[in-house]
Homo-oligomer: A and B are copies of this chain.
Amino acid sequence: MTIYDISEKAGVSIATVSRVLNGSNNVSEKTKRKVLDVMNQYGYTPNAFARGLGLNTMKTIGLMCADSSDLYMAKAIYFVEQLLRANGYDSILCCSGYDLNNMKKSMNLLISKKVDAIILIGSTYISEKDEDNKYITDAALQVPVMMLNGSLNAPNVYGILSDDYTSIYNATLYLLDSGVKDILYFHASHSYSTKRKMAGFVDAMKSRGLFKEEYLQYFPGSHEDIPAMEKHLTKLNKKGQHFQGIIAANDTLAMGAMKYARISGLNVPHDLSVIGYDNSLLTSTCDPELTSVDNKLETLCGHLIQTLMDVLGGKDMPQETVFATELIKRGTTK
């Protein structure tokens, strides 16, 4: 069933059918009805490929994330997909993993599929070395690139981020002010976001003259392996590294800290204070409930999509937008 079939059965030209299809006003009410009737009768739907060829767009946005099963990214995908669809766009998803080569591959794949824009979910994609970001700036030569919680100073790439630095800076001060001295920053990646958080931690500690390099604790294992996180901390403690506070780069790591406390017989928050990040459902799985930074993900996603729509509409938009977060205080801090 094509536009030709409809035109024939309705006794009009394909041009008229096309006009009806696209809601042009230049068509009499009478013929419009006739064409519409025939369409319904035969259950006609326009061919998306042909339309894509003609319009050079299929109203599709490419979504890239390292791992769609990560709590943060999964939520982001959900919000972004909903909002895109509400704006008449579809999402094609690419879980690229954390390897640079696969990221490049995913990017090329999306570009070759002629998506209208690319959304990079999570700060995984931005690298220290400029050359490693080239695949992003290259992509931005073709279509707008939106970064959720990332930022890159290049034409046609837009970053929407939460203020990770200040979040952790303030969280650290909050912990210090509650009387906790030795605080660990516990992270499992070297992403852009993690680094900004770390900088916030370092600066806050330094502002009180309390910073030590050993406070920065990198966990090299799987980002889902909570028992391994516990073991990491236990080993650390056995090595003589003392700490009464842990600030984790995400809630899952904080769960590792909680497990460590339980196994070590530590009272939380009295012996050990813990702060997580993302304010996920994990915050209510532990006892006491986890104090965590709310990253305002839904707000970020909303703003990201709005910015994208404006960019696609030809408007000038700010290259970087930063949102404040909120520390949700629960039982793991005093």
* Chain B residues near A90 (CB-CB < 8 A): 92, 94, 109, 113
**Of A14-22, A70-78, A192-200, A236-244, the one with at least 4 CB within 8 A of chain B:** A70-78
Is A9 an interface position by the 8 A CB rule?
Answer: no
Is A49 an interface position by the 8 A CB rule?
Answer: yes
Complex Cα–Cα for A112 and B45 (A):
7
The answer to whether A49 and B93 touch across the interface, beta carbons within 8 angstroms, is no
Is A82 an interface position by the 8 A CB rule?
Answer: yes
* Chain B residues near A67 (CB-CB < 8 A): 78
Contact of A95 among B82, B92, B227 (CB under 8 A): B82
Secondary structure at the A interface, as helix, strand, loop or mixed, is helix
Copies in the complex: 2
* CB under 8 Å from chain B, chain A span 32-71: 45-50, 52-53, 56, 58, 60, 63, 67-69, 71
Complex Cα–Cα for A58 and B52 (A):
11
The answer to whether A114 and B47 touch across the interface, beta carbons within 8 angstroms, is yes
**Of A151-159, A183-191, A279-287, A304-312, the one with at least 4 CB within 8 A of chain B:** A279-287
Complex Cα–Cα for A109 and B59 (A):
12
The answer to whether B48 and A226 touch across the interface, beta carbons within 8 angstroms, is no
A49-B49, A92-B90, A93-B81 in contact; A286/B286 too (CB < 8 A)? yes
Could you list 6 A-B pairs, sorted by A, with CB under 8 Å?
A49-B114, A52-B52, A77-B77, A81-B95, A85-B109, A282-B282
- Which A-B residue pairs are the 5 nearest by beta carbons? A49-B52, A74-B74, A49-B53, A226-B284, A69-B78
